[in-house]
DNA sequence: TATGAATGAGAATTCATTCAT
DNA sequence: CATGAATGAATTCTCATTCAT
């Protein structure tokens, strides 16, 4: 009881502050991991006092979970946009490019997610088992249909999806390594061309 | 300082205990990350007292760094075994399979490494910039030669290497997710076949 | 960092608690030395919890350094009040008596200082080399002038200063010994008369 | 029981090692104080293993007490050599110079003693109350006799003794400060001349 | 004698969270 | 809404001492 935010309509200030906190938390969590992050860092980066943070969220874990929830929605969205009635190869390539784009635009989200899964997804189990599982199963079925119709070269659809996730998120998650090995090169352009070639050659019927 | 293990030749007990500690630490660090791991956990898992752990290592960071050092050697080894005089496609496929194998045999090492790079590789910079960089540059040159000779389909060699790392390590690093999505299926067999197909189709000249 | 006391103007509570802590710390540090003192003791004596102590100061060393800084100011003050235009002998005797007085009123400060210098002044180097050095050089010059004018018997001014410090601080620093050897006698009165005689006989022109 | 050193005659090795340990301990204790010193440091400096140290002494405190015992003997020795039948002024000046000499030759001993008294002489009470007290009382009586005979200017003998201790030991105990303030000057020569003048002027009948 | 191994009792410090205003 | 103040529960690390050989 007596929690800060009630179920009533939030004011503008509340909305703004929650947003600030989540943004700061995304920064800190994605960089240091859950345990490595401190409320102090988040508070400092949000420009709020520590107790004020706890007025908006129930605690450290609440912030983290809120972040993961928001993330998963956006994260899975591109998968939902694969059109079963579109051209198979182009649909998949569009997905690949969209994922690569997200890796570039939202590297913090990618790392937050990676951190969580790496540690066994202790705060995310439900999300994986319901939302994600169903979505992947659906998509796998679509791909299998395409293959059965001879419109895609035969591959295991789930491993295909994994490979897309792996290769695109790699540029966000392993950025520290990529930067060292690519020195001044234009990483994103090269990645985009490479992945285009990779999946085109692999999937062309 | 001036305590514990000196620079002299280690006894059997020392060897055994250091091994125990490193094994326990690998477990704990790979699961919880550097900050999330505690000496208590490591000590408990190693079956030693906490101060005894600090008799063998200078501190938490020393253990972690020792682990990373050992890891990098083994981690890069397969890359060193690509034979410039072998058959290009087979050499690369052998590398892919070896990496996938390592992902299965040494998932903790893979996650330890992922954890570290994900956080910007704060304790690993040197390793990346010297050992790894050179090795990747060398390998890239070999691949470029093969491509120039028309023995491999043209691709950017560095992105090729990234994709191999990403797709193989994914099975270790994102295991929590993979398990949920693959349910009872034989993940490794599927992955092996998939990646074989993937790189064969992409690289066949 | 990013915790506790910010750079803003301190509240009454802050002022009161910092004072409490410093007073307790002076007690403990002067009695046990830096290493021998524990935050637990300081906290207990200040009537605050240990973490609360660390809310006001960055750590043990911060408390100690703060104490030394405050101390040095007061410590050197009497030396600054030697008036070059006053009567030489009376000026010096006034200094002697003032120092003896401080030894009696602030024995903890004297011991804190002694403890620090005894261990090589590891946390006080700067203070000695700037503030103190200059002040002593200035004073030495004044004394030399007086001697040149025949208004004081000739002596090395620096050794004179040392002897004043030594003889006056002795009653604070070696109190344990003095008490044993003086039994019930009125130490302060005797010391005052003795030092008056000592410096009068030595310095009368 | 089962203590290392029995009451039997010590071997050469035992003698040599005890000496080594005490010398190392003197170094460490005089520099860092009792609590600040560690057995590790002492062991390292003595070139022996820590358990071996504890074979020769019962513990840290035992070493410290042994050191203090030895010290007190030597420390008080010059006081015993004041000859009631000698020339008063010369006897006292000889004592002053001998004490100054000891300060220069045995600064570690001086600091060890200062450290101990500074902290209330917790491990030295008995020594002060028996040996020292008697000796000082005896000496005071001798001085009083000399004064009564008109062979010394009248002063309180105990404060006189304190002042001699204070001024001579100062050069050892506050060496860190003296060095800063005296820069390149020949400290010892100056001190010797100064103290000679000081006590000559004060005590000449 | 000597030492490698081990540990219990601290000690400093961090941090999420609570309290009071 | 907001924050200064406070703290209990860790967490890393130190150190005198003991054990076993």
Judged against a pLDDT cut of 90, whether residue D93 lies above it is answered with yes
Q: Where are the alpha helices (DSSP H) in chain C?
A: 12-36, 39-46, 50-56, 60-80, 88-105, 107-118, 125-127, 133-148, 157-173, 175-182, 187-203
Mean pLDDT of C136-162: 98
Distance CA C33, CA A205 (A): 81
Nearest alpha carbon to residue D197 among C153, B14, A120: C153
D142-173 pLDDT per residue, tens: 999 999 999 999 999 999 999 999 999 999 99
Chain B residues touching residue D43 (CB < 8 angstroms): 2
Predicted local distance difference test score (pLDDT) of residue D73: 87
Split at pLDDT 50, 70, 90, the class of A131 is confident
Neighbours of chain D (3+ CB pairs under 8 A): B, C
Pull the structure tokens for residue D149.
Answer: 């005979």
Distance CA B57, CA D203 (A): 64
Distance CA C5, CA A172 (A): 38
Interface present between D and B (3 or more CB pairs within 8 Å): yes
Judged against a pLDDT cut of 70, whether residue C201 lies above it is answered with yes
Interface present between B and A (3 or more CB pairs within 8 Å): yes
Q: CA-CA-CA-CA torsion for C85, C86, C89, C91, nearest 10 degrees? A: -110
A58 CB neighbour count, 10 Å cutoff = 14
A114 CB neighbour count, 10 Å cutoff = 23
Chain D residues touching residue C194 (CB < 8 angstroms): 155-156, 159-160, 163
Best mutation target among A176, A183, A184, A185 (most B Cβ atoms within 10 Å) is A176
Q: Which parts of chain B register pLDDT below 50?
A: 1-2
- Point out the residue nearest to F18 (C-alpha to C1'): D51
A132 CB neighbour count, 10 Å cutoff = 19
Give percent of chain D with pLDDT exceeding 70: 96
Residues 6+ apart with CB under 8 A from C198: C167, D155, D163, D198, D202
Helix (H) or strand (E) segment spanning residue A61:
helix A60-80
Best mutation target among B154, B166, B196 (most A Cβ atoms within 10 Å) is B166
Which of the 8 DSSP states describes residue A129? I
Q: Produce one character per residue of B112-144: b if its CB has 16 or more CB atoms within 10 Å, e if not.
A: bbbbbbbbbbebbeebbeeebeebbeebbebbe
Q: Is the CB of A11 under 7 A from strand F?
A: yes
A18-53 pLDDT per residue, tens: 999 999 999 999 999 999 999 999 999 999 999 999
Judged against a pLDDT cut of 60, whether residue C2 lies above it is answered with no
Closest chain D C-alpha to B7 CA, distance in angstroms = 14
Q: Residues of D from 61 to 120 whose C-beta is within 7 A of strand F: which are they?
A: 61
Say if the Cβ atoms of D163 and C31 lie within 8 Å.
no
The domains located in chain A, with CATH, are 12-58 (1.10.10.60), 65-203 (1.10.357.10)
Judged against a pLDDT cut of 90, whether residue C202 lies above it is answered with yes
Predicted local distance difference test score (pLDDT) of residue A9: 66
Please name the residue that has the structure tokens 């024995």.
C107
Which of the 8 DSSP states describes residue C82? -
Which of the 8 DSSP states describes residue D70? H
A68-90 pLDDT per residue, tens: 999 998 988 999 999 999 999 99
Best mutation target among B3, B4, B8, B54 (most D Cβ atoms within 10 Å) is B3
Nearest alpha carbon to residue B57 among B47, B72, B67: B67
Distance CA D159, CA C188 (A): 10
Q: Is the CB of A49 under 7 A from strand F?
A: yes
Return the biggest CA–CA distance within chain C. 61
Say if the Cβ atoms of A191 and B159 lie within 8 Å.
yes
Q: What is the 3-state secondary structure (H, E, C) of chain B?
A: CCCCCCCCCCCHHHHHHHHHHHHHHHHHHHHHHHHHCCHHHHHHHHCCCHHHHHHHCCCHHHHHHHHHHHHHHHHHHHHHCCCCCCCHHHHHHHHHHHHHHHHHHCHHHHHHHHHHHHCCCCCCHHHHHHHHHHHHHHHHHHHHHHHHCCCCCCCCHHHHHHHHHHHHHHHHHCHHHHHHHHCCCCHHHHHHHHHHHHHHHHHCC
Q: Answer whether C64's CB lies under 8 Å from C80's CB.
A: no
Distance CA D33, CA B69 (A): 40
Residue C47 gets the label, from left (phi > 0), alpha (psi -120 to 50) or beta, of: left
Sign of CA dihedral B49, B50, B51, B55: positive
Pull the structure tokens for residue D56.
Answer: 């020769």
Distance CA C16, CA A58 (A): 33
Closest chain D C-alpha to C8 CA, distance in angstroms = 36
Distance CA C203, CA C87 (A): 12
Distance CA D200, CA D88 (A): 11
A147-204 pLDDT per residue, tens: 999 999 999 999 999 999 999 999 999 999 999 999 989 999 999 999 999 999 999 9
Predicted local distance difference test score (pLDDT) of residue D3: 45
Closest chain C C-alpha to A10 CA, distance in angstroms = 29
B135-175 pLDDT per residue, tens: 999 999 999 999 999 999 999 999 999 999 999 999 999 99
Pull the structure tokens for residue D120.
Answer: 């209330």
Which one of A115, A173, A190 has the shortest CB-CB distance to B156? Answer: A190
The CA-atom distances, in angstroms, between C63 and each of A91, A126, C3, C42 are 66, 49, 16, 10
Distance CA C121, CA D31 (A): 11
When the pLDDT of each residue in chain D is averaged and rounded to a whole number, the result is 93
Judged against a pLDDT cut of 70, whether residue A4 lies above it is answered with no
């Amino acid at each position: 009881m007596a929690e800060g935010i009630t179920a009533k309509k939030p004011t503008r200030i509340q909305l703004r502050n929650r947003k600030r906190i989540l943004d700061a938390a995304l920064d800190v969590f994605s960089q240091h991991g859950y345990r490595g992050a401190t409320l102090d860092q988040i508070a400092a980066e949000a420009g709020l006092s520590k107790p004020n943070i706890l007025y908006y969220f129930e605690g450290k874990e609440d912030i983290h979970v809120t972040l993961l929830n928001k993330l998963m929605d956006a994260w899975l969205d591109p998968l939902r946009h694969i059109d079963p009635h579109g051209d198979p190869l182009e649909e998949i390539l569009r997905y690949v490019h969209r994922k690569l784009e997200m890796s570039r635009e939202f590297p913090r989200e990618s790392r937050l997610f990676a951190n969580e899964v790496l540690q066994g997804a202790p705060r995310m189990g439900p999300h994986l088992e319901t939302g994600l599982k169903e979505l992947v199963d659906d998509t796998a079925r679509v791909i299998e249909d395409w293959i059965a119709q001879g419109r895609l070269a035969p591959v295991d659809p789930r491993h295909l999806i994994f490979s897309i996730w792996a290769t695109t998120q790699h540029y966000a998650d392993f950025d520290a390594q990529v930067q060292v090995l690519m020195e001044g090169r234009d990483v994103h352009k090269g990645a985009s061309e490479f992945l285009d070639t990779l999946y085109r050659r692999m999937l062309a019927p």
